[in-house]
Amino acid sequence: MRRLFIYTTALLVALASTVAIAQKVTSAGELEATMKKISAANAGAGKAIKSEAYADAKTSVATVKAALMDAENFWVMNKKDEAVKLNKDAIAKVTALETVLSAATVDQQAVFAAQKEVGGTCAACHKQFRVQNEDKTYSIAPGVL
């Protein structure tokens, strides 16, 4: 019974955070803000995973997924098919990470592997569509839009 309560609470928190940030991205400035949300949530997920706080990790991963879904609109509006494809791939990898985190008994090595896959999709998009600034933040690469 306690386990059901914990999972239900985690699910409700994840859904509430998804609704709270659900806003389609329409401008480069909004994309930058959304990417910062993703970065912070992804860092939180990483810390939670390392400390085996899987309910917290699931909440952070849900935030990442919702923000990626919102960001997809930007790439669709700007007709960047490759970016849309990479964004969809990132959403799929985040969904796979959610699935691993939702297992009755979480396999930490499987979580690490799924998390690495998410990182790979982020890196692929950053390589093609983003540029790292001197302060280590990212912005849209020149000539992309």
Whole-number Å distance between alpha carbons of 129 and 51: 33
Domains defined for the chain, CATH in brackets = 2-140 (1.20.120.10)
Give the model confidence (pLDDT) of 82-119 as tens digits: 999 999 999 999 999 999 999 999 999 999 999 999 99
Give the model confidence (pLDDT) of 34-86 as tens digits: 999 999 999 999 999 999 999 999 999 999 999 999 999 999 999 999 999 99
Mean pLDDT of 119-127: 91
The reported pLDDT for the residue numbered 20 is 47
- CB-based contacts of 142, cutoff 8 Å, min separation 6: 131
Closest CA to 97 of 121, 74, 123: 121
Whole-number Å distance between alpha carbons of 69 and 88: 8
The region, left, alpha or beta by phi > 0 then psi within -120 to 50, assigned to residue 136 is left
